[in-house]
Structures are given as C-alpha cells and as structure tokens.
Chains A and B, each alone.
Chain A
Amino acid sequence: MARNVALDIHDGAYVNLGIGIPEIVAGYIPKGHEVIYHTENGLLGMGKPAETGSEDSELVNAGKKYITAIPGAAYFHHADSFAMIRGGHIDICVLGAYQVSEEGDLANWSTGNPNDIPAVGGAMDLVAGVKTIFVITKHTTKTGVPKIVKKCSYPITGKNVVSRIYTNLAILDVVDKKLFVRKLAPGVNFRYVQEHTEACLNRYHEKTSHQIYEKEQ
C-alpha cells in the first residue's frame, strides 16, 4: 500500500504524512525524486527518524516521534504551518481512516463513542486545505467490516475531500462522488473487492468520460 502511494507522489511535491501507516510512505519514494515533507508542528524538510542515542526532544513530528531535519529545512510557528495547509500550498496529504464514503467523505478523528476522549489535531485543517488527499487504509476492519462505505457512520473529518484510497485489496479513485477501481491487488478480482466494500464500485472501462483519465495516467 505504502509503495503504491509513494509511486503516485510526483517529483518536487510538498507532502504532509499523517501518523502511523502514512509515515511509512516516505521509505518508498523512487530514487531521484525529491519530495519535501511538511510536519504541521512547524517543520518543512522533515528527514528520517532520529537514530537511537541522537534523539532531540525539541525535534519531533506531528506524531511526537523523534525525527531529523534535512539540509535546507525550515522551522516556523503553528499559524504559518497551518497557513501552508489551509492556504493550499501543500500538494498531497496522506491520511489514515476509520471510514471513507463513496462521495469522498473521510472519518478519521472520532469513533463517536462518548467514553473516548475526543481529539482532532490537524486532520480537519488538512482535509480542508491540502490540494490532494490520499487515504491509506486496510479495506476492512479486523473483524471484516467494510471501511469503504456508502455513508460514514462515524463523525466525519471533511466532506468530499478524498481523491484516492489505497487499500490492501485495491486502489480506488473518487471521481464525481463515485468510486472507480484504478488498480487491483495481485490475485484479487473486481468482484472480491466489491464483496468487501459497502459502497458501489465502478470499472474504468465502462463507457465513461473517465476512460480518458485512465489513459492519461
């Protein structure tokens, strides 16, 4: 999944990676591509995780993990950091998800359970402001419940915000509030993916205008 996301990040992109699985994406960026990572707590030019023994508690990423800064990095305060996000300056954001709807609604901040402590962080700003939102997630929950749904049952982070979903079964595009299968995982067919998806999936080869889109890629 992470490799597939990395292949879709263009050379020269400014990218914000969410916490957890999205962080792994950085390791798969093709050689020769230069990508600048933004972390919303105030750094453009995030480098590799800090090596054991050289951690600096004042150099952390949004997940509060110890990191390094690349030569050419810049530090800034929170209002500037979110100006980069909200102002549309960041090209791509990769986030995890509880659920994604067929219209591209994302739920990734709250389960809605009143016993859980609500926490939102920067997720709502990211989906509202970054040009392209990629979601990386398992296709279903641990118990097999589809995470790609008709309508999110969890509280949403943003409406019509997701462009593409990378799962262990497929890559799905959200186009005009419909889901199109862009790529299937090895050994998986369309029907199998549909069976594990609550939302209705579409094929690109159907006579739609998106055929052109597919060829362009």
Chain B
Amino acid sequence: MIDKRVNTACEAVECISDGATVMISGFGEAGSPVELIHALVDQGAKNLTIVSNNAGSGHVGLAALIENRQVKKIICSFPRTAISVVFPELYRAGEIELELVPQGTLAERIRAAGAGIPAFYTPASVNTTLAKGKEQRDFNGKSYVMETAIQADFALVKCAAADKYGNLIYNKTARNFGPIMCMAANTTIVQAGQIVNVGEIDPEHVVTPGIFVHKIVEITNPSDESKLVAENLKYHGIKY
C-alpha cells in the first residue's frame, strides 16, 4: 500500500541529518514552504547546504534557518534583495559560504540531477567571472561552459494540492523550482495546501507525478511569507 502522508511538519522533517544538502522551493516568498522550514528550525539539523533561488527575507522561513546558524553554505542565484537582512550580515562576516549560480543554470543543474545527467554544457556565463575554473568547450563554433548536476539529500517543496501517492499540482508562479527539486532529491518532503482523494487530480493535470515525492504533510492555510516579512515577524522556534 502506498500512502506518503505524514501527520505533522515536525514528523516530515525528522529524518534530516546534520550536514545534509537540502533544496528549498520558492522564488522569493512565492512557493516557499514556510511551515516545513520552521519545522526544520525546531528540529535543529546543522551544517546544512541549502539550494534555493534566494537567501531568505526578513526573519522568517529560510532567513530564520540561516539566522539560527544551521546553514553552512547556500547555492543560489539571487541572494541580494531589499528585504534580505540575515544572509548579507553573515556573508559579510564570512560566516556563510555562497555559491552563486545563474538562475537558468541553477534550474538545469537541479533538473539534470533528477534526470540522471551528471553534467551539461550551457552558453550562460561564458566569458564571465562565474565561468572561472570551469571546463569550456566549443560546439558548432559557439562556446559553452560545463556545469554539473546538483543532487540533494532532501527537498522541501510547497504545492497547492496532493494525493496520497504524491501527485502534485501547484498554484500560479509558486510552482517555480518545485517540480525540478522534487526530482533531484533522495527524499522529497512536500507541504500541500490540501490533500485530496486519489483520482481527484485529473491525470492530465498532474504537474509532479507521485514517483518523485516521498512525504506529504497537509498544511491548510499556510503562512504567507510576504505577509510575515511585511509584519517584520521573527521566528524563534515553535512560535513567532
């Protein structure tokens, strides 16, 4: 019998160990699995490598995880935003490592891992400082940079609805990195706004097929990260 549902966010993230590589979905606040991240703050795993497009906003979600000193390194494309305060401070103090990756390269490195492709060539970043030290090769007279796949131990992903098999659908631009992160992690943990009966999601509409998902927790009315940031709330574990 296949039933990937777990009861709570805490139970869902229990298995994340110190030193793990963890992908976190979201483009800024849109699609960020805030409840799963906060459960990971409570759980306390340390020396994590985080793969996410941004580096957190305000003092909640990914920013709270960084502020709680659980993150050793972050792999992302855009850590500089007006409302990012925690990461810049630690970065300037040399207390967190940054691997800066062009956004499309980040997406493809994640997708490649999920698709069993260890490396690929991309035209992005050729002749720039971000291509330094990377293999460069010409195809049909054009230069490309070799990039390697990013495989993760865990992925934390937010979606709109799921069934117990792990089939997922998303909401608007909150989809962003979710589907490819589900593919690239050994253990994919999903928070769904709703868990529906098997068969209720039209197979034609499934975005992430259940094979890529391992644990699902239902979080109805998830926090809106942008609102938490706007209210300048700080996550201190268990409560704000």
In-complex Cβ contact of B80 among A76, A119, A128 (8 A): A119
Contact A128 B175 (CB under 8 A): no
Given contacts A42-B175, A125-B102, contact A119 B78 (CB under 8 A): yes
Please classify how large the interface on chain A is, using the bins under 10, 10 to 19, 20 to 34, 35 or more: 35 or more
Of chain A, the residue at the smallest CB distance from B208 is A77
Give, as a whole number of angstroms, the nearest-CB distance from B24 to chain A: 13
Given contacts A57-B29, A57-B227, contact A75 B128 (CB under 8 A): no
Query: Considering only CB atoms, which chain B residue lies closest to A85 in the complex?
Result: B104
B102 x A120 contact (CB < 8 A): yes
How far is B204's CA from A63's CA once the two chains are assembled, in angstroms?
Answer: 31
Chain A 126-182 residues near chain B, CB threshold 8 A: 128-129, 155-159
Q: Choose from B28, B87, B108, B170 the contact partner of A82 (Cβ within 8 Å).
A: B108
* Majority DSSP secondary structure for residues of A touching B: loop
Interface residues on B, range: 35 or more
What are 5 of the A-B contact pairs (CB < 8 Å)? A59-B30, A60-B173, A78-B107, A82-B108, A117-B87
Closest chain A CB from B116 CB (angstroms)? 14
Contact status A77-B104, CB under 8 Å: no
Of B28, B88, B103, B224, which one neighbours A40 at CB under 8 angstroms?
A: B103
Stretch of B1-9, B41-49, B177-185 that contacts chain A? B177-185
Contact B104 A86 (CB under 8 A): yes
A161 to B226, CA, bound (A): 35
Determine whether the beta carbon of A128 is less than 8 Å from that of B110: no
Chain B hits for A56, CB < 8 A: 172
Q: Are B127 and A119 in contact (CB under 8 A)?
A: no
Contacts A64-B81, A120-B78, A156-B127 given; does A75 touch B105 at CB 8 Å:
no
Q: Name the residue in A116, A119, A120 with the highest tally of chain B Cβ atoms < 10 Å from its Cβ.
A: A120
**Structural contact, A129 and B111, CB atoms closer than 8 A:** no
**Closest CB of chain A to B195's CB: distance in Å?**
19
- Once the chains bind, are A121 and B124 in contact (CB under 8 Å)? no
Residue in B80, B104, B111, B207 with the greatest tally of chain A CB atoms within 10 Å: B104
Cβ A60 vs Cβ B122 within 8 A? no
The answer to whether the Cβ of B136 comes within 8 Å of any Cβ in the partner chain is no
Contact B124 A75 (CB under 8 A): no
Residue ID in chain A nearest B144 by CB atoms: A128
What is the CA–CA distance of A78 and B114 in the complex, to the nearest angstrom?
14
A184 at the interface (CB under 8 A from B): no
